[in-house]
Structure 1
Amino acid sequence: MTTSVAYPVHVNAARDAKSSRWLWLVKWILVIPHYLVLLFLWIGFMVSSVVAFFAILFTGRYPRAIFNYNVGVLRWSWRVTYYAYGALGTDQYPPFTLAEVEDYPAHLSVDYPEHLSRGLVLVKWWLLAIPHYIIVGVFVGGGAWAANRSDNWQWNVAGSGGLVGILVIIAAVILAFTGVYPRPLYDLILGMNRWALRVAGYAALMTDAYPPFRLDQGGSDPVLTVPPLSGGAPGPVDTTTQATPTGPAVAASPEPEG
């Protein structure tokens, strides 16, 4: 019997029904206040992650307050990335908050782990994650992402020659001339961002569940099918096309055809 579970890092988004043809030309100016705030938030993220590392090492638990803060930084970064040049998925200006905003079209949440491996914390953020760093480096900016780990992944998306940056430029040009954001292009960009965010959560010690080597495209986070092992315990993550509705805005805002 298989078990359907969602990966602990949930990334959802919904496209605007209609996007401005030219707003993307000035979004780099509009997001400057967010980048200034995020600069300090990421400094706090790195410091709190060091504290979380030692807490997990000695107690097997991720301090809840630190966990909520770090998830909030990832969530804020994802909203800004989704608005700006990591996706151009919405023209709705991102809110200045670490908390979840139900009516914003980009959502990120991470399941809180009641217990984490004290041994894995020593190796998962650098050694075990190396294969994913290589792949995500291609997605969002070559070796720079791997060298900097996941802690500042969204900065590289904004200004790199990675696949996401190239595809977003193509989408922007198409949008300018046709007024339409092609659905296949949007789905691919979202899949690459989702992969990067899963690795970010894993490398930030938020979960012991190894990120799947899957390009789950589209705005809705999928449910992953886990086949049982011989002893009845869940086995490695496999595949599925089911979507899990996490985030009211995703469910309430159907994506336009394109």
Structure 2
Amino acid sequence: MTTAAGFYRPVKVTAVLDAPLSRWLWLVKWILAIPHYIVLAFLWIAFLLVSVIAFFAILFTERYPRALFDFNLGVLRWSWRVSYYAYGALGTDRYPPFSLGPEPGYPARLDIAYPEHLSRGLVLVKWWLLAIPQYLVIGIFTGAMHGGWCVGGLIGLLVLIAVVTLAFTEKYPRDLFDLVIGLNRWVLRVTAYASLMTDAYPPFRLDMGGEERTPTG
């Protein structure tokens, strides 16, 4: 994914704010999402195991096995859809599918370009040493991490403000939505990098809004 300005964007995160949204459904989404949380708990264990296998594959072959890459991408997609439905954004009332696939009809989407080649040297250090500054930043966004997703922090606070506003005005503030998606986009970029799925270092830049935009300058 290359823009006219030559900027390579291996991680593409898009989201569509559904309207209208229920004023009160968000109060019980934590219950409705429990089946997903149970499945994702097992999927994230598999994700970590697959990442370890991929680490050694990259170290010896400079390639991330495609089947393993597609599985981990599926876990991230599934997690992003659940996060978007629940308390990572609360941007839709459409129940997320139980699927590892791309699900183009769902309002929250994620794609990561498959890398034909990955650095043996970077695989040794990027997931811990090089990513430390990014971990510090997204730690502020998320407060705590669970499977790469927020359970508090700045994102949780902004989403709470948004849905309280929704409850009283029947509208999800657009500016808040754009900011929440921008913060989630940053988290997803770092997650993909730390999971060895790309060598492109995540930019220290807040790209807000539901659509990916071409950087200027």
The DSSP-based 3-state class of the residue aligned with 2:60 is helix
Rounded to whole Å, the distance in 2 between the matches of 1:114 and 1:6 is 14
TM-score by length of 1: 0.81
Equivalence for 2:68:
66
Matched, 1:152 2:152: no
Equivalence for 2:185:
194
Matched, 1:219 2:210: yes
Tell me if structure 2 keeps the 8 A contact 1:192–1:215. yes
Residue 77 of structure 1, CA deviation: 0.2
Equivalence for 2:195:
204
Rounded to whole Å, the distance in 1 between the matches of 2:98 and 2:7 is 31
1:198-256 superposed Cα distances (whole Å, 9 cap, x missing partner): 000000000101100110000001234xxxxxxxxxxxxxx46xxxxxxxxxxxxxxxx
Equivalence for 1:168:
159
Pick the aligned partner of 1:20 from 19, 22, 30. Answer: 22
1:169-204 superposed Cα distances (whole Å, 9 cap, x missing partner): 111100000000000000000000000000000000
Q: Name the % identity.
A: 65
Tell me if structure 2 keeps the 8 A contact 1:121–1:205. yes
Rounded to whole Å, the distance in 2 between the matches of 1:6 and 1:31 is 34
The DSSP-based 3-state class of the residue aligned with 1:92 is coil
The DSSP-based 3-state class of the residue aligned with 1:108 is strand
Equivalence for 2:86:
84
Residue 5 of structure 1, CA deviation: 3.5
Equivalence for 2:44:
42
Rounded to whole Å, the distance in 2 between the matches of 1:133 and 1:204 is 13
Equivalence for 2:119:
117
Rounded to whole Å, the distance in 2 between the matches of 1:36 and 1:167 is 26
Is there any run of 5+ residues in structure 2 with no aligned partner, and where?
none
What is the one-letter code of the residue matched to 1:135?
A: V
Rounded to whole Å, the distance in 2 between the matches of 1:105 and 1:6 is 24
The DSSP-based 3-state class of the residue aligned with 2:110 is strand
What is the one-letter code of the residue matched to 1:174?
A: T
What is the one-letter code of the residue matched to 2:9?
A: Y
CA RMSD of aligned residues (A): 1.2
1:120-153 superposed Cα distances (whole Å, 9 cap, x missing partner): 0000000001111000000001xx44xxxxx712
The DSSP-based 3-state class of the residue aligned with 1:19 is coil
Residue 7 of structure 1, CA deviation: 1.2
Tell me if structure 2 keeps the 8 A contact 1:34–1:96. yes
Residue 6 of structure 1, CA deviation: 4.5
Matched, 1:180 2:171: yes
Tell me if structure 2 keeps the 8 A contact 1:140–1:153. no
How many positions carry a matched residue from both structures?
Answer: 214
Give the structure with higher Rg (CA): 1
Rounded to whole Å, the distance in 2 between the matches of 1:44 and 1:28 is 23
